[in-house]
Structure 1
């Protein structure tokens, strides 16, 4: 349920650029985008301000009913969603309206981005921004095929301008290159190689997108853009099988504080293993290692970034006990080990993201058999703290089909 856009190490905002009397780590707020289980409607709930309380009610995003979705952010920091229309393979792209005057959250009209040829339903959707900040969308369909669509890059147009050179009074006409939006906002759907049932896209430290996937035999694969502006299948490296013979059920890629892409993945036996780029940005990866052994097998996993940029893992085991594992030093791969800190009464899906002040927030979606899932959240007590709030804040008592946590970089202040 996590936001699959880049989780790059956070950077503090200079206090001189902030409103008087405030002390933000980053000018952002957390938002949860979801699908209403009863109506299929896209809905959202967000903090009312950076570090602020959560809104009382869920509010609709767009008319109509939807089956599945994911969310991320646009180049300018607005929340963006891609969702499949109910009863159709058609996908729509929906972004926050840049004009947010007034108390009601506003969204632009859904944009029809079509559907991959022959696709009926989708197993997994993932979204990431590329090196130019353009949104790129990836999915696996009902046949296990991998598809890709992206916002087209701006085009260079030659324009004539009349200027008066310094020291003269005579205007002249010059020709200059200017960037303009493309005539066609989105590319066509492009089929990438591979057969997968799950896929996750991640914006790496240099802006190139990496893909991680699991196939029906639980083999784990990775590939990445070979250059910053990837526009064709040939602009990707080949898929590389990286599971070393271990069957994997979950994956949680994240960019660490040294700029390397890290991959945490859960084996079918419930152990979390770790590999990372070495050096950062390369196509060379370390052998699988363990950040800490779990005596009780785990079943769900997520990764986040703490206020100092270090990685935090959270997981839940088969006894429904939640534990975290904090990275102390990325260079030496020093970890706290798994430490229990809370529990749930049923299976859950976990997600981590940070508040504007750098404190991590953990989100727990309680899985119900009838699909009427509940959502709860707790925070770290302070930035980089090993203590967590004991009392959960309920965001929804039931009726959630799916949720994605995203950080809105254009919050009300």
Structure 2
């Protein structure tokens, strides 16, 4: 799998104890709170043998991983992505084999017994004229509704969202204070929409890869790379965006000096600003962020630390103290992390090697229920399939990582998405 060595601690490198930004309100740690949130990590994937849509999740918050994977829905699947419903259940959207129509699947709200239960797939159709898909991504908007974005085989960008609740007038019988005579009043209350999903909407532009992220104010931002490796961004202009005109124009953000980009990793930082980390063709990690938070103005490109060996993979995450952590792999398959010490001054630890991967890898970061970051490494094996392993930080805000990897599968994975199930078994 991979071997790790403990790097120098932050304290040894001179980080002031009060320099770390405070965690978000939902992530405050107290003596009586053993975790940031009641959640468990779950990996949703497609296997490469039969195309099954499968999942594996921690048995409990901060818990161990089972040996077996379980099936989410029957049949074979081609492409998928995953996220969370408004009430914290895992949601999956995927393309069943033999059709371009997409299906939406959610965890059953009634989880009784040891077997994970899922609701049957619900069809959400397909954009007109689509033959296949290049990338699917989803995010929750300001209302918590799921919004799905994709790029098709022609590079077109499509969008579909759960419709907002509608206001319905209902009559209620009440007895006013000081009286004994009931009266009937008409009140407004929210009711489910008559149509659960919007129509498919085309967003102007052409991309081969796209990533969506919910920003601190609830508006969704999109980042994308086109066939020329140019990097673009846009964002919703209002909290409840319902039409293509509710988005800003795409802004090209690569320059002659940066050259093209091959990978992107957006994340919302501790000051509420959306940060974009992107990997150039030359293997350098560059950084730009909103300034001020929530605006459509961004800083010029900066480097978090030069890499003498070009990097080939990148992931971004938020650790327990609220700061950003980056993890990368390079062309020599060395794994390194780079921790943000102060968001206001953009002070970083610098790239620090902490492991080596035996094979080329794709990286994902997410946090455990206790706030420790977990790194997932999807490695391309000699037989052409992918294995998956995970390691976690030793503690919140730690520069040490577990030495031994937990192997989740030795091969047979085509694609994964890591999510936090907010309705775990307890």
Which TM bucket (shorter chain)? over 0.9
Equivalent residue number for residue 336 of structure 1: 349
Structure 1 residue runs of 5 or longer lacking an equivalent are: 1-7
Which residue of 1 is the match for residue 231 of structure 2?
Answer: 220
Aligned to 1:3: none
Specify the alignment match of 1:235 in structure 2: 246
What is the rounded CA distance, in whole Å, between the counterparts of 1:312 and 1:10 in structure 2?
19
RMSD in angstroms over aligned alpha carbons? Answer: 1.3
1:35 to 30, 35, 46: 46
Q: How does 1:234-313 map to 2 (within 5 A)?
A: 234-245=245-256, 246-313=259-326
After TM superposition, the score normalised by the length of structure 1 is 0.95
1:137 has 2:148 as partner: yes
- Matched residue SS, 1:113: strand
Q: Which residue of 2 aligns with 1:358?
A: 371
In 1: Cα distance, 2:425 partner to 2:317 partner: 24
1:12 aligns with 2:27: yes
Structure 1 residue 134: Cα displacement: 0.1
Q: Are residues 1:324 and 2:337 paired? A: yes
What is the aligned residue count?
402
Q: Secondary structure of the equivalent of 2:245? A: helix
Residues 324-356 of structure 1 deviation map (CA, whole Å, 9 limit, x = unaligned):
000000000000000000011110000001101
Q: CA deviation at 1:11?
A: 2.6
**SS of equivalent to 1:104:** coil
Q: Deviations over 1:41-71 (max 9, x none)?
A: 1100000000010112100000111001010
Residue 125 of structure 2 aligns to a residue whose secondary structure is coil
Structure 2 residue aligned with 1:209, among 215, 220, 237? 220
Residue aligning to 2:407: 394
CA distance in structure 2 between the aligned counterparts of 1:9 and 1:239, rounded to whole angstroms = 30
Indicate the residue corresponding to 1:163 in structure 2.
174
Tell me the SS of whatever aligns to 1:11. helix
Find the counterpart in structure 2 of residue 57 from structure 1: 68
Name segments (4+ residues, structure 1) moved above 4 Å. Answer: 13-16
Please state how far the C-alpha of 1:39 moved relative to its aligned partner.
Answer: 1.1
Q: 2:302, 2:377 → 1: CA distance?
A: 27
Distance in 2 of aligned mates of 1:268 and 1:340: 21
**Would you say 1:196 and 2:207 are equivalent positions?**
yes
Q: Which of the numbers 79, 82, 91 marks the counterpart of 1:71?
A: 82
Aligned to 2:189: 178
Change (3 A) 1:242 1:10: farther
Change (3 A) 1:10 1:301: farther
State yes or no: 1:187 paired with 2:202: no
Instruction: Identify if the C-alpha distance between structure 1 residues 204 and 391 changes in structure 2 by more than 3 Å, giving closer, same or farther.
Output: same
Give distance in 2, aligned partners of 1:9 and 1:244.
Answer: 34
Range that drifts further, 347-356 or 83-92: 83-92
Tell me by how many angstroms 1:87 deviates.
2.2
C-alpha distance in structure 2 between counterparts of 1:36 and 1:10, whole Å = 38
Whole-Å separation in 2 of the counterparts to 1:365 and 1:386: 22
Match of 2:423 in 1: 410
Counterparts of 2:29 and 2:353, CA distance in 1 = 35
Query: Is the contact between residue 299 and residue 315 of structure 1 (CA under 8 Å) also seen in structure 2?
Result: yes
Mind listing any 5+ residue stretches in structure 2 that lack a counterpart? Answer: 1-22
Deviations 1:247-271 (A, max 9, x none): 0000000000000000000000000
Residues of 1 paired with 2:214 and 2:312: CA distance?
A: 26
Match of 2:162 in 1: 151
Correspondence for 1:98: 109
Looking at structure 1, the residues matched to 174 and 29 of structure 2 have their Cα atoms a distance apart, in angstroms, of 37
Query: Structure 2-normalised TM-score?
Result: 0.92
* Deviation, structure 1 residue 390: 1.1
